[in-house]
């Protein structure tokens, strides 16, 4: 059992909700469960959000729903995780507090550090509800369209995704995220879009409303495009990264400043991604040693710009970030060879 306690709120008065998102965030004391009564109390659905403190669309949506006294079809539990990281100045900047682990890489690891204990407290809590469906709501750190991520493409998982988006990444990656856990009911992750995209706030709000209003949450409302088994392009632990329009001296990798533009488009072979100081790919690695960086990416020497990093084949890139801290601690982007 975990030794971290979540705060439970069973009745939220309008004054406590706060008129603004910041008042609401300040009212929360730490990781919190908000219990909302539905039209029907024999069933329950769960929305987890703010596992990452810099991803506010889910919290914004919950704030809006509470302000409007939205009544869900069934009992609903909103689990709001990284409250402290989110409200640490600058607000909604920290994915996790400095020196701490990424909370959404700590599920199922049975370790005793703070983030792993919090992950296990959230998992234990979710298990007690006998929920019928769980959504884990995020933003991408770079700008881009919404998509869902799931370890299964069962009809139920696809139907859950359809409340939010028409895209699903069906992943074989195992990183320690909540969405990989064996829970008593289906769970998917939704990436509502970029943390600063207005569209993402709307996707989160309309998606949660749809997910919580449906009598049958597993009735699929739109077709889903599926993308299978992405890989992650990562920086070696000793590497350093910069984002710029030209190679940055001293960086082991410089990525194009406008790299986010490639999110979900078709990126053809020979597309410039960035620059390397040397004629090799040693500063890069993939999530899985069975795959080689050189099967997907190449270095080419150029007269003006030194060594250019390019795609070797057609790829679909997503979760592209321009945040150097997130690129080095997590990954540069995910990609699929169509």
DSSP letters, 56-76, are -HHHHHHHHHHHTT---SEEE
Nearest to Zn ion of 141, 283 (CB atom): 141
Task: Report the site for Zn ion in 126-145 (rule: CB under 5 A).
Answer: 138
Kindly state the smallest distance separating residue 47's Cβ from Zn ion, in Å.
14
Closest CA to 79 of 48, 118, 117: 48
Nearest to Zn ion of 55, 234 (CB atom): 55
Counting runs of H as helices and runs of E as strands, what totals does the chain give?
Answer: 8, 18
Nearest to Zn ion of 53, 274 (CB atom): 53
Kindly state the smallest distance separating residue 102's Cβ from Zn ion, in Å.
9
Cα gap 181→79, rounded to integer Å: 16
**What number of chain residues touch Zn ion (CB under 5 A)?**
3
Kindly state the smallest distance separating residue 52's Cβ from Zn ion, in Å.
4
With beta carbons less than 8 A apart as the criterion, state whether 194 and 252 touch.
Answer: no
Cα gap 275→253, rounded to integer Å: 6
Question: Which stretch of DSSP H or E encloses residue 204?
Answer: helix 198-213
Nearest to Zn ion of 55, 180 (CB atom): 55
Applying CB under 5 A, the span of 17-25, 44-52, 86-94, 310-318 interacting with Zn ion comes to: 44-52
Is 101 a binding residue for Zn ion by CB under 5 A? The answer is no
Nearest to Zn ion of 138, 232 (CB atom): 138
Residue 231, burial from CB neighbour count under 10 angstroms (0-12, 13-18, 19+): buried
The closest residue (CB) to Zn ion is 138
> Among 52, 63, 77, 157, which residue sits at the site for Zn ion (rule: CB under 5 A)?
52
Kindly state the smallest distance separating residue 330's Cβ from Zn ion, in Å.
9
* Residue with tokens 């929360």, as numbered in its chain: 28
Which residues lie below 8 Å from residue 167, measured CB to CB, with a gap of 6+? 145, 146, 147, 148, 161, 224, 225, 227, 264
Nearest to Zn ion of 36, 86 (CB atom): 86
Task: Report the site for Zn ion in 221-260 (rule: CB under 5 A).
Answer: none
Kindly state the smallest distance separating residue 104's Cβ from Zn ion, in Å.
6
Kindly state the smallest distance separating residue 79's Cβ from Zn ion, in Å.
14
Sites of contact with Zn ion (CB under 5 A): 52, 55, 138
């Amino acid at each position: 059992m975990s030794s971290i306690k979540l705060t439970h709120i069973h009745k939220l008065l309008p004054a406590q909700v706060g008129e603004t998102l910041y008042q609401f965030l300040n009212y929360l004391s730490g990781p919190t469960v908000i219990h909302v009564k539905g039209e029907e109390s024999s069933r329950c659905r769960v929305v987890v959000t703010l596992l990452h403190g810099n991803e506010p669309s889910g919290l914004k949506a919950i704030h809006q729903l509470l302000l409007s006294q939205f009544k869900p079809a069934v009992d609903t539990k909103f689990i709001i995780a990284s409250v402290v990281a989110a409200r640490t100045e600058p607000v909604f900047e920290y994915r996790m507090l400095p020196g701490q682990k990424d909370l959404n890489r700590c599920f199922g690891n049975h370790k005793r550090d703070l983030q792993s204990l919090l992950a296990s407290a959230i998992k234990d809590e979710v298990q007690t509800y006998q929920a019928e469906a769980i959504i884990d709501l995020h933003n991408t750190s770079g700008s881009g369209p919404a998509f869902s991520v799931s370890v299964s493409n069962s009809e139920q998982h696809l139907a859950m995704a359809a409340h939010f988006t028409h895209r699903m990444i069906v992943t074989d990656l195992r990183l320690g995220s909540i969405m990989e856990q064996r829970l008593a009911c289906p769970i998917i992750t939704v990436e509502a879009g970029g943390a600063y995209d207005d569209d993402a706030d709307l996707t989160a709000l309309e998606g949660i409303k749809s997910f919580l209003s449906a009598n049958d949450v597993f009735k699929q409302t739109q077709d889903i495009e599926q993308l299978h088994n992405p890989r992650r392009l990562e920086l070696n632990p000793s590497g350093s990264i910069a984002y710029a329009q030209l190679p940055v001296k001293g960086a082991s990798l410089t990525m194009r400043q406008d790299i986010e533009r490639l999110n979900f488009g078709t990126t053809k072979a020979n597309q410039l991604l960035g620059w390397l100081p040397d004629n090799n790919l040693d500063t890069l690695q993939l999530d899985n040693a069975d795959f080689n960086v050189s099967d997907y990416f190449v270095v080419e020497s150029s007269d003006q710009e030194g060594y250019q990093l390019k795609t070797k084949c057609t790829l679909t890139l997503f979760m592209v970030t321009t945040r150097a801290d997130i690129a080095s601690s997590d990954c540069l982007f995910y990609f699929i060879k169509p």
